[in-house]
Structure 1
Amino acid sequence: MFQERSRKLGQVSSCPARFDEELGIWVVDDPGEVRGVLLDPETFRPDNALVAHTPLSVKALRVLSSVGFALPPTLANNAGPSHRPIRAAVARFFSPARVAAIEPFTRRLVSERVDAAWELLDSGPVDLVETIAAEPPALVVLEMLGVRDVDVPALKAWSRDSLELFWGWPGEDRQLELAHSAAEFYGWLRTRTEAARRLAGDDLFGVLAGLGLTDEEICAVAYFLLIAGQETTSQLISTAFHRMLTEPAENPVEQVLAEASSVPTWRRVTAVPVSVGEVELPADAPVLLGLTGHGGPADLAFGIGLHRCLGAGLARLEARVAVERAEPLLAAVRLVEEPPPMLELLSFRAPSRLLVRR
């Protein structure tokens, strides 16, 4: 079912906007129209960017409510006046100078895991997603944000569960499991926020507390950043690895960003009736924007305008380093599963496993 939905989302249409009955959302794929939508946040608002695509059940909502779970407008879902100061504060963590300075650390992390993969291959098949792509982006973004003492495997599990909860199609039982995971993550964020209140520091939580944000706003920023800042990069690396194993390219990272990015779509909602091309959209219409695979530039995968991905430069650096360091390994192995099992969500798509052998 996920594969069929993904196939439909990847279809090219000459229509500037079409309503997808199954998804219940207007789909815009043309790169020029997508660019226009992203550059007009007053008409096409980001209010629904972090709303669960599959409505949450009463049981799931109760679990989230038990920890005070809330995602008030902060970054990706904010078109108000508070967006700019929050974005400016976070952007300092991802300045070009800081991104350049993190490259040696990134290269060391990736090299250690590529070396480990070479050794594991002597004993049988190896999953390149878990062995190489999974943890380095998390360790890098935590270093960039100054956040210490984090259980990285737990962060990865929380992140994957939250992506499925908000961008997937989980049934009620699965949704309840995911809600417990999201509540656990949010509880951890609450604890870190309370600690920052007591002892201000220069890490992400301390900086946000210094802005005068509420606890809910701090948790919302951290929730989004600690998921998007690493899990999407792991997915980009995994997708680039898959491309190199099946269709070797001169510049696989940029090719993947242009043709099959791990974040293929993003959402907006119309504030007023508006035309996209010659198609009339009503007010309050949810819109799904195709960011990749429709002939647009690679850079469009990171969005454009006020809500462009703050970590675009970092993601490109990490993916480039991973591809460069893993290239000899990828040339010496073959896929055990083709196609590999995939993560298939509304706005996230990547190999969930890349099992290879010599």
Structure 2
Amino acid sequence: MTGCPARYDEGLGYWVVDDPATAREVLLAPEIFRPDNAVLAHTPLSVKALRVLSAVGFALPPTLANNAGESHRPIRGAVARFFSPARVAAVEPLARELNASRVAAASTRLAAGEEVDLVQAIAAEPPALVVLHLLGLEDVDVPSLKAWSLDSLELFWGTPDEDRQLELAHTAAEFYAWLRARTTAAREARAGDLFGVLVDLGLTDEEICAAAYFLLIAGQETTTQLISTAFHRALTRPLDPPEAVEDTLRHASSVPTWRRITATATTLGGGQLPPGAPLLLTLTGTDGPADLAFGLGLHRCLGAALARLETRVALECAQNLLTTVRLTEDPPMINLLSFRAPKRLRVTALQPS
């Protein structure tokens, strides 16, 4: 592979692309570097886990992130309307209200001498509440959605052993059963929410559930992780919030890598790759542009503007708090193939000198 910018990582089982220009080249050529493996389980699912998922009809046909077919554009177009520039801008007051109230509650606890986890206290719920509002979804148990999301990310992008995989499969099945129920309800009583729009598009139940499954995870959990990372960096790198958002995206995004697979034997940067070569693209931390963290081209993240807005607002609301606290531990990390962020950020108030 002389001259090829992709290096094969035996442990991961991927050709790793670290050069931002080459990653950009790959993302902008979906007919050559297909997204078919984008949401495949990094650790092959065990027979027991597959049985649990099969029992609820779990299926992930191509819809959004993993779709290189003709159905991608209409599905993406229908979902994109929920994230139009006007709708994203209009949701800022809600995001600010949600963050400000949580910062105020955390500040009160800190002043009383308590230890506070900034992830759970501030970063966790606002992104979920905001995206549910945008998608027109009501009566959603947010703590359950957060738990389902974290477990699904670990199931599909982690390295769980068989026992842990089975636990994760049960929660993924619970999530999928909930999606099935919402899809059935949308068919019986049409509405303008996410499920109603996907029903009106003529999608099958499996396609609706697949689109909603990862949209409801990516639309909020990755933003929670981006905010958590931005908070962590802000504790040692004080920057103005807009600058801090771009700094985090450039150097430590919550989605540091993404996957592609070669459709045929192809040339990449002067080197040859075989057909079916799985690629792992490094999106952040390699001196590339901040925008690369959201991908490029046909599969660019639909919620890029929303994630930027929510992270900026969270930093603005927490700016004063972040200058008056200290970490009480080295934060444990979510460290998956394509997702990385602090699991928690335990802090206490700084004592007057």
Aligned to 1:316: 308
Instruction: Write the distance in 2 (CA, Å) between the matches of 1:305 and 1:29.
Output: 19
Aligned-residue offset at 1:277: 1.1
In the alignment, which residue of structure 2 is the partner of 1:243? 233
Matched, 1:349 2:328: no
Query: For residue 204 of structure 1, what is the aligned residue in structure 2?
Result: 194
What do residues 158-179 of structure 1 show as CA deviations (whole Å, max 9, x unaligned)?
A: 0000000000000000000000
Structure 2 residue 295 is matched with structure 1 residue 295 = no
Measure the CA separation in 1 of the matches of 2:116 and 2:236.
17
Specify which of 201, 207, 211 is matched with residue 217 of structure 1: 207
Structure 1 residue 123: Cα displacement = 3.7
Cα deviation digits, residues 291-337 of structure 1 (max 9, x gap): 00111100010000000000000000000000001000000101111
Q: Give the alignment of 1:32-111 within 5 angstroms.
A: 32-111=21-100
1:306 aligns to 2:268 (yes or no): no
1:248 Cα offset (Å): 1.9
CA-CA distance at 1:342 after TM superposition = 0.4
Deviations 1:197-253 (A, max 9, x none): 000000000000000000000000100110000000000000000000022234111
The 10-residue stretch of structure 1 (86-95 or 15-24) with the greater mean CA deviation from structure 2: 15-24
Post-superposition Cα deviations, 1:51-100, rounded to whole Å, max 9, x if no partner, equal 00000000000000000000000000000000000000000000000000
Once residues 348 and 102 of structure 2 are traced to their aligned partners in structure 1, the CA distance between those partners, rounded to angstroms, is 16
Once residues 50 and 42 of structure 1 are traced to their aligned partners in structure 2, the CA distance between those partners, rounded to angstroms, is: 17
Instruction: Give the counterpart letter for 1:195 in structure 2.
Output: A
Equivalent of 1:332 in 324, 334, 343:
324
- The residue that corresponds to 2:269 in the other structure is 277
> Runs in 1 of length 4+ with deviation above 4 angstroms?
none
Alignment pair present for 1:187 and 2:177: yes
Q: 1:131 aligns with which of 121, 125, 128?
A: 121
- CA shift, 1:279, in A, is 2.3
Letter in 2 for 1:236: L
Which residue of structure 1 lines up, in the alignment, with residue 254 of structure 2?
262
Aligned match of 1:4: none
Given residue 297 of structure 2, which amino acid in structure 1 is its aligned partner?
A: G
Match of residue 9 from structure 1: none
1:353 counterpart letter in structure 2: R
Question: 2:114 & 2:18 partners in 1: Cα distance?
Answer: 42
State the Cα distance separating 1:15 from its structure 2 match: 6.1
> Any conservation in 1 of the 2:136–2:193 contact (CA below 8 Å)?
yes
Q: Does the 8 Å contact 2:254/2:340 carry over to 1?
A: yes
Deviates more, 1:273-282 or 1:238-247: 273-282
Question: Normalising to structure 1: TM-score of the pair?
Answer: 0.95
Find the aligned partners of 1:15 and 1:261 in 2 and give their Cα distance.
26
Deviation at 1:278, TM superposition (A): 2.5
What code does the residue aligned with 1:312 have? A
Q: Secondary structure at the match of 1:51?
A: coil
C-alpha change, 1:15 and 1:241, in structure 2 (3 Å) is farther
TM-score by length of 2: 0.96
SS in 1 for 2:235: helix
1:11-26 equivalence runs, <5 A: 16-26=5-15
CA RMSD of aligned residues (A): 0.9
CA contact (8 A) 2:4 2:272 kept: no
Count of residues in Structure 1 that have an aligned counterpart in Structure 2: 344
- Greater shift in the superposed pair: 173-182 or 274-283: 274-283
1:29 is displaced (CA, Å) by 1.1
Alpha carbons 2:99, 2:314 under 8 Å: kept:
yes
Q: Give, in whole Å, the separation in 2 of the partners of 1:202 and 1:174.
A: 38
